[in-house]
Amino acid sequence: MKISTIIRVLVLVLLATFIVMPQVFSPVFAPLTRFNAPAIYTQTSILSLTLSHLAIVAVATALATVIAVGFAILVTRPFGEEFLPLSRAVANIGQTFPPVAVLALAVPMLGFGTGPTLVALFLYGLLPIFENALTGLTGISPSVREAARGTGMTGWQRLIGVELPLAFPVILAGIRLSVVISLSTATIGSTVAARTLGEVIIAGLLSGNTAFVLQGGLIVGALAVLIYDGFVALEKLAARRMGRA
Amino acid sequence: MIEIENLSKHYDGRAVVDDVTLAVADGEIAAIVGTSGSGKTTLLRMINRLVEPTSGTVRIDGRDILDQPPYQLRRQIGYAIQGHGLFPHHDVARNIATVPRLLGWDKAKIAARVDELLTLFQLEPEAYRHRMPHELSGGQKQRVGVARALAAGPAVLLMDEPFGALDPIIRAKAQEDLLDIQRRLGTTIVLVTHDMDEAIKLGNKIAVMSDGKVRQYAAPEEIIAAPADDFVLAMLGSGDRAFRLLSLKTAGQAVGPGPADGKPITAAASLREAYAEMLWSRREALPVERDGAIVGRVTRAACEAEATRP
């Protein structure tokens, strides 16, 4: 077994143990606390916060994927080409808008809770997926396109049977970027009462408890690294099937 | 039977194909030869409506190609292109099965057809059925590309520089295989090439194109013997005309009675090869062999008689 694999398995085991039984790690974090403050966050169970965090990211990314890939498909059809610059601009704006600002603007409309966070993550996730879907759909070799038309596939059959499968590894890379950004950005959602791992970090900041800040950050970081690796493995698998790896 | 009448294609007012009229009889191979930019590929692509004509008509077996939606038309016409265009995410069997699947054949029929074609193209079905395109050599990809084009048994096959990406030795083999398969299936073929040798070797008729116009459309013998204008002559290369004539006939066609010494030549070899062998081995005549038996001889005089201006 390679050393990198051993490290990944180790990180996964540590992460799972911490999420399920955080008290086990109490001695590790105790030196970081002062005045006998608790070393492990217990107001809400870490497990439920982690699941809620992942669920919010998953829903936001899924929505962003559907919309971004949908738009990429539209603007790469003959009838949608004119909208290519416009849709690029819209996705870019989504990316330049700070997530905190989106939260602040969304709260009056959606109220406190998960809603504003979903909106911010969704907008933030659009651009990487859109750009990659465009790259994937426009990067198909001309002779393959020609063959697809020449064999008598309809536009729909070309999209489903040829273009999307060939663009899939590139689209997947976009989703990976989007997921990793969202995992870290989601922590900000706790400022408007979304149930994410940000709650642990914010509690630490408010009470001056470095141990809380560190454990919140470590969980999010480990999740991001593992999920990133998972996507990379999936992309390699998809690309290898086509002899592109 | 393909009938092309007064076919033109204009881009921004410029004629890329200019008033072309020609017909290809059933079971014939028509080779369209020309320099790049001559409009030969555009002409080919109008037959299966990958390019829509500006004016003129194309009929296949009497039916106007505009009578049905383009995708339905294309499923009835084989199409093989340079660089093969195999789908990289599908294995060989699935690539070959493309058109039969679109036509909704049942699984057993498709599987049987795929194996039949693989065998026809000398690819062992067991070994190649499930390979991915990137696991094939250039020559194998090209064969799978043609097999895919022939999968649904089209009466007409269009080929756009199908051998352009192959090295000379594999190309010669691929050309012979194509002729062999075409004879067996009786497919009508329209083939685009920039290579006059290839056109002469494969074509029953040759259309020489330049600037969107067909300068001459005739049998290879006639093109060589009586080029219509200077462009056709230039495409032929005037110095090689005698040898091109020799390459049209086989030793079997020029065989005569009498003895000859040395290593025999097969009846299927061209007179060009026979003449070259005579020069090389300093012989006046070669024994001609057909199916393992000597059937006579071919002489220098016989070759020279075939090589003179008709």
Q: Regarding predicted confidence, which is higher, B214 or A240?
A: B214
Asked whether the beta carbons of residue A152 and residue B99 sit closer than 8 angstroms, the reply is yes
Q: Which residues of B touch A241 (CB under 8 A)?
A: 89, 132
Task: Look at residue B238 in the predicted model and tell me its pLDDT.
Answer: 66
Neighbours of B129 (CB within 10 A): 17
pLDDT averaged over every residue in chain B: 91
Contacts of B302 (CB under 8 A, 6+ apart): B254, B256, B271
Q: Regarding predicted confidence, which is higher, B161 or A111?
A: B161
The domain in which residue A191 lies consists of 45-241
What is the pLDDT averaged over residues A120-140?
Answer: 89
CB A131 within 8 A of CB A68: no
Structural domains of chain B ordered from first start: 2-238 (3.40.50.300), 244-307 (3.10.580.10)
Asked whether the beta carbons of residue B134 and residue A149 sit closer than 8 angstroms, the reply is no
A221 within some domain: yes
Q: In this predicted model, what pLDDT tens digit does every residue of B125-143 receive, in sequence order?
A: 999 999 999 999 988 999 9
Q: In this predicted model, what pLDDT tens digit does every residue of A164-177 receive, in sequence order?
A: 999 999 999 999 99
A88 within some domain: yes
Q: In this predicted model, what pLDDT tens digit does every residue of B31-84 receive, in sequence order?
A: 999 988 899 999 999 999 999 999 999 999 999 999 999 999 999 999 999 878
Please tell me if residue A243 touches chain B, with a CB cutoff of 8 Å.
Answer: yes
Asked whether the beta carbons of residue A241 and residue B89 sit closer than 8 angstroms, the reply is yes
CATH of residue A145: 1.10.3720.10
A9 within some domain: no
Handedness of CA A147, A153, A154, A159 (dihedral sign): negative
Query: Which residue among B71, B82, B133 places its CB closest to the CB of A154?
Result: B71
Q: Which residue of A has its CA nearest to B98?
A: A151
A36 within some domain: no
Share of chain A above pLDDT 70, in %: 98
Task: Look at residue B25 in the predicted model and tell me its pLDDT.
Answer: 94
Residue of B71, B84, B135, B150 to mutate when probing chain A, most A C-beta within 10 A:
B71
Q: In 3D, which of B169, B121, B168, B167 has the Cα closest to residue B145?
A: B121
CB B26 within 8 A of CB B1: yes
Query: Which residue among B75, B88, B98 places its CB closest to the CB of A243?
Result: B88
A11 within some domain: no
Task: List alpha helices for A76-187, DSSP H.
Answer: 84-96, 99-110, 114-138, 142-150, 155-158, 164-185
Q: Regarding predicted confidence, which is higher, A193 or A235?
A: A235
Burial class (CB in 10 A: 0-12, 13-18, 19+), A69: buried
In this predicted complex, what is the ipTM?
0.82
What is the residue whose two structure tokens read 């190649």?
B128
How many domains, chain A?
A: 1
